[in-house]
Structure 1
């Protein structure tokens, strides 16, 4: 994993993560399976030009789901919750200022 864009896969946008962005200045990303806190910190600082205060990592296990008589599993996700320094922000939606 030499390129930082290989570490940060996509932002996770839910009601809970939007509330965390507004109140605590935290952004949630889906990251590569082999990524650690140091790599995520370096990637976010390099890609978005912000200072990272703290990084929390989370592995979500796949859940079994049913549709009628067919069963399957959701995909496992490796998440990183990144706290950004006060006064800075990451523009996830491309809003012009």
Structure 2
């Protein structure tokens, strides 16, 4: 029970950009913002549990936060973790119909 709750907190959101849409078309890979403490096996188990698809490979990276400036104060956004999830051939994630 606790493990399933932890898996639900791992996937934060999908990361959609021009680069990720090209990767989706060419390699059947999706991009997610994930928790910084998440491992590749945690991400794989979370995707299997939520979307019922078979994952081929996962690549993760830490994205550096950007510096922000407002008036004379300089701040910084926090770093975050991104995961590229490559699905097996024939597998597809349908974000619209997976929500019950």
Give the TM-score, by structure 1 length.
0.85
Measure, in 2, the Cα distance between the counterparts of 1:22 and 1:68: 42
1:11 to 11, 14, 19: 14
Question: Following superposition, which runs of at least 4 residues in structure 1 exceed 3 angstroms of deviation?
Answer: 67-70
Measure, in 2, the Cα distance between the counterparts of 1:19 and 1:52: 19
Aligned residues: 94
Q: SS in structure 2 opposite 1:79?
A: strand
Question: More helix per residue: 1 or 2?
Answer: 2
Measure, in 2, the Cα distance between the counterparts of 1:59 and 1:44: 19
Instruction: State how 1:1-97 maps to structure 2 within 5 Å.
Output: 2=3, 3=5, 4-92=7-95, 94=96
Q: State the Cα RMSD in Å.
A: 1.6
| 1:33-65 deviation line (CA, Å, top 9, x unaligned) | 110001101111111111000011101122213
| 1:17-42 deviation line (CA, Å, top 9, x unaligned) | 11111111000111111100011011
5+ residue gaps, structure 2, are: none
Q: SS in structure 2 opposite 1:16?
A: helix
